[in-house]
Structure 1
């Protein structure tokens, strides 16, 4: 890094005085960089796979593809979304009796490492338990329901269910988990959605529509980026 203090006499005084000032400025400017470097290095050394094995795998499996219907698949989801959800659970913004004690023990670097770990895992195909509901679910997902003022789910979660930065990938997600979360939004038990969007939309869905959408979501092929 070049010293920005000039080497001739001037308003800042002698050469030696300016040199000392230059070194002081350099030290101040480098301090945040060094601190960030230490923080980054410590985050990079987090053994995410070990944390998953010890704290997450029982419900989500080591690959983040939960085989227990009430628990979500985390594999392939955007790391920024995953990290936000974990922070929300830790802060209480998202309620979870199971997750809250676990996340309360996590440091920020561990949360980020876990989010990156699960984001890199390939997602497995979903399981449809009520195939007779898939067609109706697809209609609602792609077109919405104009009579009830329900917009198409695809508007936020995209046509292939891959999601967007603020909206999660839901393709091939466990149907029971989708139903659970939609009802939680509807009943106000979950309130960490962006701009109250999910709470507003789901309040207009019937019970039958919620079940149908969940089955269609489970039937959706895994998006290429998450395979």
Structure 2
């Protein structure tokens, strides 16, 4: 296996030249419309800025727990609701409460179980060293977003710069200790529910009609209310993908399809991750958010990701177009973690 990863990258030199530049697919970044050429960067609240108080509401509940929270408590940036504390190990301080007034609790966006939502990242089960490396990449300006409207990346940059190495490692070890389990149901279709976007997540319009899916992946919660209002960490997502994308994705992922190399070479025969000499741990891909995977592939192709593993991926994505990325992500999301 010596120098295996480098040899695989070199094989790509024999492939055809890179495809023409494309604009970021808006659906992957949580938008309905393409990014205009003069789009300003996302406006991110200054560190420590308090979120406006929500109106008082009766206490909300979820099945399987006797805990009750108000909407304000559920969305508390520094003490978010933990509906099912028995579902996960004890949370480190940085995960449960963040680092006021700058760093939000990791559990606020990624959930205490690390499953996250399509607009951010599922981080449960990531290798500890990989997690730390990515936080350092945010800290050092080596991870940026192709769609400047998306606020997650600048937020993560500010958090990584405010966290010390011990806090980053505590979060990495906590989330790395939990296995990634099924969270996304992939459905091939031509039409999807009409949707709106809330903070980067697609939600079905209540009483709305349907619309053509086209060349998109649309991820919506299995139960929009309990995910959006109560932020249930036990309810996953449906990923609607175009007809034929799973077959096309399987071809690209397992053979390269003449455009790339097979994903299993680095991510393992079942796409559950490997450890490679001279590279280290490679993350799993099976069953993870296809929107997130497309974002990473696109950002890599645009040269907005840097570092050892990112540099290895650049020739892998060089010849992929957006539809290739869609098919790859759809197929990987359909695989059992």
State if a TM-score over 0.5 links the two structures.
yes
Partner of 1:156: 266
Partner of 1:190: 305
Q: Which one of the candidate residues 61, 74, 79 is aligned to 2:111?
A: 61
Partner of 1:139: 251
Per-residue deviation, 1:51: 4.3
- List aligned pairs for 1:41-60, cutoff 5 A: 47-51=93-97, 54-60=104-110
- List aligned pairs for 1:66-145, cutoff 5 A: 66=116, 68-95=117-144, 96-125=153-182, 126-128=184-186, 129-130=240-241, 132=243, 133-145=245-257
SS in 2 for 1:98: helix
Per-residue deviation, 1:102: 0.9
Provide, for residues 11-66 of structure 1, a one-character-per-residue CA deviation record: whole Å limited to 9, x for no partner.
xxxxxxxxxxxxxxxxxxxxxxxxxxxxxxxxxx9535424694222321111101
Partner of 1:173: 288
- List aligned pairs for 1:179-218, cutoff 5 A: 179-194=294-309, 196-218=311-333
Provide, for residues 164-203 of structure 1, a one-character-per-residue CA deviation record: whole Å limited to 9, x for no partner.
2332111111110111110001111222352722111111
Partner of 1:220: 335
8 Å CA contact 2:94, 2:105 repeated in 1: no
Unmatched tracts of structure 1, length 5 or more? 1-44, 223-227
Provide, for residues 61-94 of structure 1, a one-character-per-residue CA deviation record: whole Å limited to 9, x for no partner.
111101x213111011111111111111112222
CA distance in 2, matches of 1:170, 1:206: 19
CA distance in 2, matches of 1:86, 1:59: 16
8 Å CA contact 1:48, 1:117 repeated in 2: no
8 Å CA contact 1:78, 1:119 repeated in 2: yes
8 Å CA contact 1:70, 1:174 repeated in 2: no
Provide, for residues 103-157 of structure 1, a one-character-per-residue CA deviation record: whole Å limited to 9, x for no partner.
11111111111000001123231332216311211121111122x3x11111111
8 Å CA contact 1:127, 1:174 repeated in 2: no
Unmatched tracts of structure 2, length 5 or more? 1-90, 145-152, 187-239, 276-280
In 2 relative to 1, CA 195–107 (structure 1 residues): closer, same or farther, beyond 3 Å? closer
The aligned length equals 175
Partner of 1:21: none
